[in-house]
Amino acid sequence: MAENLLAQLLEALAKGSIRVVDLTQPLNAATPVIQLPAEFGQSRPFRLEEISRYDERGPAWYWNNFSCGEHTGTHFDAPVHWVTGKDYPGNAADSIPPKRFLAPACVIDVSAKAGEDPDFLLTRAHVETWELQYGRIEAGSWVLMRTGWSRKSAPDFLNIQNDGAHVPGPHPELIPFLAKERDVIGFGSEAVGTDAGQAFRFDPPFPCHHGMHGSNKFGLASLTNLEELPPKGAMVIAAPLKIVNGSGSPCRVLALVENG
At closest approach, how far in Å is the CB of 237 from Mn ion? 18
Single out the segment in contact with Mn ion by CB under 5 A; choices: 59-67, 73-81, 183-191, 228-236: 73-81
Q: Which lies closer to Mn ion via its Cβ, residue 189 or residue 256?
A: 189
Q: Is residue 70 a contact residue for Mn ion (CB under 5 A)?
A: no
At closest approach, how far in Å is the CB of 238 from Mn ion? 12
Distances, alpha carbon 55 to alpha carbons 51, 52, 59, 180, in Å? 10, 6, 4, 56
Q: Is residue 190 a contact residue for Mn ion (CB under 5 A)?
A: no
Q: Is residue 209 a contact residue for Mn ion (CB under 5 A)?
A: no
Q: Which lies closer to Mn ion via its Cβ, residue 77 or residue 190?
A: 77
At closest approach, how far in Å is the CB of 231 from Mn ion? 25
How many angstroms separate the CA atoms of 61 and 204, rounded?
Answer: 50
Single out the segment in contact with Mn ion by CB under 5 A; choices: 71-79, 105-113, 122-130, 237-245: 71-79
Three-class secondary structure assignment of 125-173: HHHHHHHHHHCCCCCCCEEEEECCHHHCCHHHHHCEECCEECCCEECCC
Look at strands 218-221 and 169-170 and give their pairing. unpaired
Q: Which lies closer to Mn ion via its Cβ, residue 71 or residue 210?
A: 71
At closest approach, how far in Å is the CB of 62 from Mn ion? 30
Q: Name the catalytic one among 71, 81, 171, 209.
A: 81
At closest approach, how far in Å is the CB of 191 from Mn ion? 11
Q: Is residue 213 a contact residue for Mn ion (CB under 5 A)?
A: no
Q: For Mn ion, which residue has the nearest CB?
A: 71
Question: What is the Cα 179 distance to its own chain's centre?
Answer: 16
Active site residue 126: no
Q: Which lies closer to Mn ion via its Cβ, residue 214 or residue 256?
A: 214
Residue at 236: amino acid letter? V
Q: Which lies closer to Mn ion via its Cβ, residue 69 or residue 130?
A: 69
Q: Is residue 182 a contact residue for Mn ion (CB under 5 A)?
A: no
Q: Rule CB under 5 A: choose which of 21, 24, 71, 215 binds Mn ion.
A: 71
- Asked if 129 contacts 173 with a C-beta cutoff of 8 angstroms, the reply is no
Cis check: omega of the bond before 45, within 30 degrees of 0: no
Q: Is residue 217 a contact residue for Mn ion (CB under 5 A)?
A: no
Residue 210 φ/ψ, nearest 5 degrees:
-55, -50
Angle at 119 between CA 117 and CA 122, to 5 degrees: 95
Distances, alpha carbon 127 to alpha carbons 77, 143, 190, 220, in Å? 22, 10, 17, 18
Q: Is residue 77 a contact residue for Mn ion (CB under 5 A)?
A: yes
Residue at 85: amino acid letter? G
Single out the segment in contact with Mn ion by CB under 5 A; choices: 3-11, 18-26, 67-75, 110-118: 67-75
**Alpha helices, H only, the chain:** 5-15, 111-116, 124-134, 154-158, 174-176, 207-208, 214
Annotated catalytic residues are: 81
- Binding region for Mn ion (CB under 5 A): 71, 77
